[in-house]
Amino acid sequence: MLGVLFGFALTKGEAVSWFRIQEMFHFESFHMYGIFMTAIPCAALALTFIRKMNLRSMDGEPIVIPTKVYHHGIIIGSLIFGFGWALTGACPGPLYAQIGGGYLVTIVTFTAALFGTWTYAKFQRHFPD
Amino acid sequence: MEFLTRPWPWYVTGPIIGLTVPALLLLGNKKLGVSSTLRQICAATLPGKIPFLNYDWKKDQWNLFFVAGILIGGFMGGILFANPAPVAISQGTAQLLNAQGINDLSGLLPNELFNWKTLFSAKGFFLMVVGGFMVGFGTRYARGCTSGHGITGLAALQWPSLLATMSFFLGGIVISNFVLPIILSL
């Protein structure tokens, strides 16, 4: 259900729009930046609240706030992902939304992304980590 | 009804996306991160004994339901309650795209580019096959995408995620401004 809401909000907010992505990378509109600049603080505030109140998840476990560790792929991988984002107009979330939105040809984009992930996995030890 | 068909302003979509992060944590300690599902699907379907794919992907099955939800959300937003008007991008971008041969600004993607016929041309090959490959490869190498690094990571004040976000924006800016015009002229 949450996924449906997330996908619907992404689509209605045009964050899955190839046009909006080009506009964002040309700094021609505030729209996409507005989405990031409201999404991140909303999430950050909620995380602070969860931490301060020591909230537990519905199964009663203590909530683990995600952490990320630096490795070289953070920069190299992200640059490559950025190249792909500008071409396809989609990061992984919108890949699904674009298919759902009736652009069946983006199943090809999605399959190529799967193959990209598989290629990374297969040759992982050859890339600087 | 009008609220459903009209595009949503950033201040509606942004908070919903942001609040998905705590919602998933509260529901079951789950981390928002979409690119992980690409790894899961690979682990579940593609052959080859690969250590990176040899993990208990079933443990994160919820994420597959989550992205199935995104697909349904995309169907609702893109078809069921589709915006009948062309996307209201800025004049500047619209003119630029027109100059590059994209005149149809309706829908989520340029109909002139993302179709089966274009797929088998150099243009379509770069946009869909090469582009898609780079999304899948890059996000896994970086261990996260816009949702995992850009939203979750930044909100949790993880500095590697800030580096990742800066890097994928840099990559996008370079391609969109300098390489895409060349591809579109093919």
Whether B46 contacts A114, CB under 8 Å? yes
Map residue A56 onto helix, strand or coil: strand
CB atoms within 10 A of CB A57: 17
Q: Work out the angle at residue A1's Cα, subtended by the Cα atoms of residues A97 and A111, and round it to the nearest 5 degrees.
A: 30
pLDDT at B126 over 90: yes
Q: What is the mean pLDDT of chain B?
A: 94
Burial of B51 (0-12, 13-18, 19+ CB in 10 A): exposed
Contact A14 B87 (CB under 8 A): yes
pLDDT at A72 over 90: yes
pLDDT of residue A1: 84
Amino acid at B165: T
Whether A11 contacts B74, CB under 8 Å? yes
- The complex scores an ipTM of 0.95
Which of B14, B72, B127 has the CB atom closest to A7's CB atom? Answer: B72
pLDDT of residue B15: 97
A contacts of B169 (beta carbons < 8 Å): 25, 82
**What part of A 14-53 touches B (C-beta under 8 Å)?**
14-26, 28-44, 46-47, 49-50
Report how far Cα B71 is from the mean position of its chain's Cα atoms: 12
Q: How many CB pairs under 8 A join A and B?
A: 503
pLDDT at B47 over 80: no
Contact B15 A42 (CB under 8 A): yes
Cα(B27)–Cα(B24) distance, integer angstroms: 5
Which token pair is B137?
A: 């490869």
Query: Any CB–CB contact under 8 A between A58 and chain B?
Result: yes
Which of A7, A58, A71 has the CB atom closest to B69's CB atom? Answer: A7
pLDDT at A65 over 80: yes
B111: pLDDT confidence band, cut at 50, 70 and 90? very high
pLDDT at A26 over 80: yes
Nearest to A105 by CA among B122, B112, B44: B112
pLDDT over 90, % of chain A: 92
Give pLDDT tens digits for B166-179: 999 999 999 999 99
Predicted TM-score (pTM) of the model is 0.95
